[in-house]
């Protein structure tokens, strides 16, 4: 039982907030969510993160920013489901895949597909279909192939149990799914089976259902 008060600031539809929520759930850490929308930051938020990005976690009254930093900190707080392995090489591989998800997959799965298919239209703005097309046909295939090959003989990206690498990757693919897209199961069978496996985790099911309810409300 930890004594620190954990408060997460952010919006559940952000993949970086999603990764942090999944981490909190898998680590069985109690937390409170304070909604902060990325296109409507309150003035005081800059004191918590000068970059004005979500998520931020406050630990008692101390803020930490960046989902990667936050999740690595959270992993140290409980022994339930170690998300960064002890083995240094495996830990480095986990950080690599997390970085790959956050900086290579995110620009397409979230900032192109999710943004143009769902977010902008929900705000009454048109989505950029040409940008979507470019991501789907040109940018994403080599990235999906890379994941497909990595998952050829493995159920998880690193080792034989779930790590932060998997949470980072599924977080991006949930944005893709909210944008109405999924990898083609004929072309990427290992990747699709892997995503399906992660989608069945109770913490992912719960998170996905909550998000779908938010999406339905935003569509009205
Ligand atoms: N590397 C950061 C990325 C966070 C991020 O880009 N968050 C987006 C929401 S999905 C944001 O707050 N954007 C606001 C902005 O850039 O102005 C992390 O992992 O926390």
What integer pLDDT is reported at residue 112 of this predicted model?
Answer: 98
Closest protein CA for atom 1 of ligand 1: 66
Please report the atom of ligand 1 found closest to the CA of residue 53: 12
Q: Are residues 125 and 203 in the same domain?
A: yes
Question: Ligand 1: which of 16, 109, 114, 118 to mutate, most ligand atoms within 8 Å of CB?
Answer: 16
State in Å: Cα 22 to ligand 1 middle: 17
Q: Is residue 82 part of a domain?
A: no
Query: What digits encode the pLDDT tens for the residues 1-11?
Result: 788 999 999 99
Residue 40's pLDDT band (boundaries 50, 70, 90)?
confident
What integer pLDDT is reported at residue 3 of this predicted model?
Answer: 87
Q: Are 74 and 24 in contact (CB under 8 A)?
A: yes
State in Å: Cα 153 to ligand 1 middle: 33
CA distance 100 to 98: 5
Q: Is residue 81 part of a domain?
A: no
Residue 137's pLDDT band (boundaries 50, 70, 90)?
very high
What integer pLDDT is reported at residue 2 of this predicted model?
Answer: 81
* 38, 82, 201 from 99: Cα distances, Å: 21, 18, 22
Q: Can you list the positions of beta strands (E) in the chain?
A: 6-10, 32-35, 56-59, 62-65
Q: What domain count does the chain have?
A: 2
Q: Which residues line ligand 1 (CB under 6 A)?
A: 14, 16, 38, 52-55, 66-68, 102
Averaged confidence pLDDT in the chain: 97
Q: Containing domain of residue 19, as a range? A: 6-75
* Tokens of residue 209, six digits: 């259902």
CA distance 158 to 134: 30
Q: Are residues 113 and 202 in the same domain?
A: yes
């Amino acid at each position: 039982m930890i004594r620190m008060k954990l408060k997460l600031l952010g919006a559940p539809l952000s993949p970086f907030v999603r990764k942090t929520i999944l981490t909190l759930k898998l680590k069985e850490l109690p937390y409170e969510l304070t909604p902060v929308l990325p296109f409507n930051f309150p003035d005081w938020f800059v004191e918590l993160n000068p970059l004005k990005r979500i998520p931020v976690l406050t630990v008692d009254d101390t803020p930490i920013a960046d989902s990667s930093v936050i999740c690595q900190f959270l992993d140290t707080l409980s022994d339930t489901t170690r998300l960064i392995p002890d083995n240094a090489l495996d830990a480095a591989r986990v950080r690599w895949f997390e970085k790959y998800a956050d900086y290579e997959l995110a620009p397409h799965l979230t900032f192109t597909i999710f943004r143009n298919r769902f977010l902008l239209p929900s705000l009454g703005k048109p989505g950029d279909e040409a940008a979507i097309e470019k991501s789907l046909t040109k940018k994403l295939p080599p990235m999906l192939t890379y994941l497909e090959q990595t998952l050829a003989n493995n159920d998880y990206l690193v080792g034989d149990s779930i790590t932060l690498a998997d949470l980072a990757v599924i977080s991006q693919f949930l944005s893709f799914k909210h944008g109405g897209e999924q990898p083609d199961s004929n072309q990427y069978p290992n990747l699709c089976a892997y995503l399906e496996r992660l989608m069945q985790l109770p913490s992912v099911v719960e998170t996905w259902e909550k998000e779908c309810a938010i999406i339905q409300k935003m569509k009205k």
